[in-house]
Structure 1
Amino acid sequence: MSYENIEFELADAIARITLNRPDKLNSFTAAMHGELADALAQVETRGARVLVLSGKGRGFCAGQDLSERQMSAGSAPVDLGATIEKYYAPLVRRLRALPMPVVVGVNGVAAGAGANLALAGDIVIARQSASFIQPFCRLGLLPDTGGTYALPRLVGQARAMGLALLGDKLSAEQAAQWGLIWQCVADDQFDARLEELALHFAQAPTKGLAYTKRALNLSLGNSLDEQLDLERDLMRELGASADYAEGVAAFLGKRPPVFKGQ
């Protein structure tokens, strides 16, 4: 499948998806969603060990392209619930479930669904000049694409309420200080940092990282007893993995490990 709204490549175990509608700040259309779904199917099946998601141009993603939401006089209301069910919810679920780290590089403004798409990643870095905005309140809507789930868990209820109800712009530096993202990076160091993370995870023990991601995500709804049982079960599996054997052998042999992601 050829892509018009995204760029996709997979080489050396690194999958890269770049949103590619720079003239529209990479805002979502139905066509872009279709291309993202196809690219993610390849990420899931072609041996990737890390996914790097970023945007082209001066923005990461400005959310939904509202030109697809224009209504003529007397037309039926747009079913936004159907849009969530068909596009945004499956996208977030897929990213969260990927058995590998998802690194998101926020290169510019991340607004609405674009901001919350970024928060669906595992490691999120942003240019110092980037910003995050929850503008749903200005349209009479609520933060979708997992926004109402991620915001209070990442920054707490008070800050989540402020971001969602006021729609104020949050700088990348403040986002990092609040714990919304992992790291704010100087603009001239951003590309190098993103590449550094991609190369790191492409050589890391992928299965162990995937299980770590799974355990941390499940912990949000588990009791302590449930989480301890989950840790037991997952560690039992990882203890039989090739990467664990290699990690122990490398430690005892005082050499760098060579992980295969298995």
Structure 2
Amino acid sequence: MSTQASEILIGEGPVLLSLDGSIARLRLNRPQQSNGISIALLEALHQAVMRCHGDPRIRVVLLSGEGPNFCAGGDVKEFAAKGEGLPDFLRQATSYLQISASALIHLEAPVVTAVQGYAAGGGGLGLVCASDLVIAARSAKFMAGATRVGMAPDAGASVALPRLIGFRRAMDMILTNRVMDAAEALDVGLVTRVVADDALEAAALDVARELAAGAPKALAASKRLLWSGLGLGIDACLPEEARTVSELSGTADAREGLAAVIGRRAPRFTGR
């Protein structure tokens, strides 16, 4: 590995990007909000991923989240504040999230994601599904989260998750919103490796360094073949997923679900 100093590509804002030799360090940077998804973060994420696409020096992307959680999903307070304007807001948000997840899948460089704390919703679980290798801290937890606020999964998770862990397990995660711990996530194939909490960063960086030392064209071709062989058809499914998320966000149940999460109480869904 090169010993050159890290080059800052994006040094401030909700997403940070630096280049350490041939490893791009892509970090979600809203730790006080558990890296909850906002429009500003999504715009910055898309910009950062596209910079990775355009930089021939990058052989590996290491994705992580600042603070105690990788990404706890959507910023429910920002969502709730939109009121009846939420469907229009989520059309924009879902679009940015989907194209960012798709861009990670189509990136030639392998994507290694380090997960601590919660990986929930489209931002958390969705980005995990769009990663090539996932290193999880032993205390990491995974949850779909969408239906508990009256919505549907996004970031391509409705397509990717069943392919990765199986239809029945994916249905269970999405419909019940149960929390899956790191040990089970490893057992069902959602993550690649589980390590001690205090070893997460070093372990993920070791994997990134190993990949960066490999043959980049061979790794890129292998990644493309494996995703294609998985039969995702993800790009064709994204428009329907986005339409469904936006439509559901305009329901009374979605507003009640967001209010219940913010108020830390059980929701009272009425089917409207």
- For 1:42, which of 21, 42, 51 is the aligned residue? 51
Distance 2:173 2:223 in 1: 26
Moved over 3 A (4+): none
* Per-residue CA distance 1:231-251 (angstroms, 9 max, x = gap): xxxxxxxxxxxxxxxxxxxxx
Aligned alpha-carbon RMSD (Å): 1.8
**Distance in 2 of aligned mates of 1:146 and 1:68:** 22
Matched, 1:109 2:86: no
Corresponding letter in the other structure for 1:40: V
**What is the identity, as a one-letter code, of the residue corresponding to 1:166?**
T
Aligned counterpart for 1:25 among listed residues 20, 27, 34: 34
Q: Kindly tell me: are residues 32 and 81 of structure 1, through their superposed partners in 2, closer, same or farther at Cα, counting changes over 3 Å? A: closer
Question: Residue 218 of structure 1: CA displacement?
Answer: 1.1
**Residues 169-223 of structure 1: CA distance to partner in whole angstroms, max 9, x if unpaired?**
000111001111111111122122111012111111111111111111111339x
**1:3 and 1:35 in contact (8 A); partners too:** no
Equivalent residues of 1:69, 1:78 under 8 A apart: no
Residue from 78, 87, 104 that aligns with 1:78: 87
Question: Which runs of 5 or more structure 2 residues have no equivalent in the other structure?
Answer: 1-9, 233-272
Paired AA for residue 146 in structure 2: F
1:142 maps onto 2:152 in alignment: yes
- Please report the TM-score for the alignment, with normalisation by the length of structure 2: 0.77
Q: Indicate conservation of the 8 Å contact 2:25/2:61, yes or no.
A: yes
Q: Which has the larger radius of gyration?
A: 1
Identity between Structure 1 and Structure 2 (%): 36
Q: Is 1:157 paired with 2:167? A: yes
The structure 1 residue matched to 2:66, chosen from 56, 67, 75, is: 56
**Partners of 1:211 and 1:72 in 2: CA distance:** 43
- Residues 45 and 71 of structure 1: CA distance in aligned 2, closer, same or farther (over 3 Å): closer
Q: Which moved more, 1:165-174 or 1:151-160?
A: 151-160
TM-score w.r.t. the length of structure 1 is 0.79
Q: SS state of the match for residue 142, structure 1?
A: coil
Does structure 1 conserve the Cα–Cα contact (< 8 Å) formed by 2:38 and 2:93?
Answer: no
Stretches of structure 1 that go unaligned for 5 or more consecutive residues are 223-262
Q: Determine which of 21, 26, 29 is the counterpart of 1:12.
A: 21
Kindly indicate whether residue 163 of structure 2 is the aligned counterpart of residue 133 of structure 1: no
Pairwise CA distance, 1:72: 6.5
Q: Tell me the SS of whatever aligns to 1:70.
A: helix
Q: Does 1:182 align with 2:192?
A: yes
Which of 201, 207, 220 is equivalent to 2:230?
Answer: 220
Does the alignment pair 1:99 with 2:133? no
Is 1:89 aligned to 2:117, yes or no? no
8 A contact 1:84–1:145 mirrored in 2: no
Quote how far apart the aligned CAs of 1:71 are.
4.7
Distance (whole Å) between structure 2 residues aligned to residue 154 and residue 83 of structure 1? 27
Deviation string 1:135-179 (CA, Å, 9 cap, x unpaired) is 111111111111111111111111111101000000011100111
The correspondence for 2:209, drawn from 178, 189, 199, is 199
